[in-house]
Structure 1
Amino acid sequence: MWVEDWAPRAACRDQQPDQLFVRGAEQNKAKQVCASCAVRTECLAEALDNQIEWGVWGGMTERERRALLRRRPNASWRTVLEAARNGQDATV
Structure 2
Amino acid sequence: MSAVIMVDPWVDEWASQAKCSGQDPDALFVRGKAQHDAKAVCKTCPVLAQCLAEALDNRTEFGVWGGMTERERRALLRKRPDITSWKSALKAGMAAQAR
Structure 1 and Structure 2 fold alike (TM over 0.5): yes
2:54 is the alignment partner of 1:84: no
Greater CA radius of gyration, 1 or 2? 2
Q: CA RMSD in A?
A: 1.2
**SS of structure 1 residue aligned to 2:71:** helix
Amino acid at match of 1:26: A
Q: Give runs of ≥4 in structure 1 deviating > 4 Å.
A: none
| 1:29-68 matches, cutoff 5 A | 29-68=37-76
Deviation at 1:80, TM superposition (A): 1.2
Q: How far did 1:73 drift? A: 2.5
Partner of 1:71: 79
Stretches of structure 1 lacking an aligned partner (at least 5 in a row):
none
Q: Does the residue aligned with 1:87 lie in a helix, a strand or coil?
A: helix
TM-score by length of 2: 0.84
Q: CA deviation at 1:7?
A: 0.2
Q: How many residues align?
A: 88
User: Does 1 or 2 have the higher relative contact order (CA < 8 Å, sep 6+)?
Assistant: 2
Match of residue 28 from structure 1: 36
**% identity of equivalent residues:** 60
Task: Give the residue type in structure 2 aligned to 1:20.
Answer: L
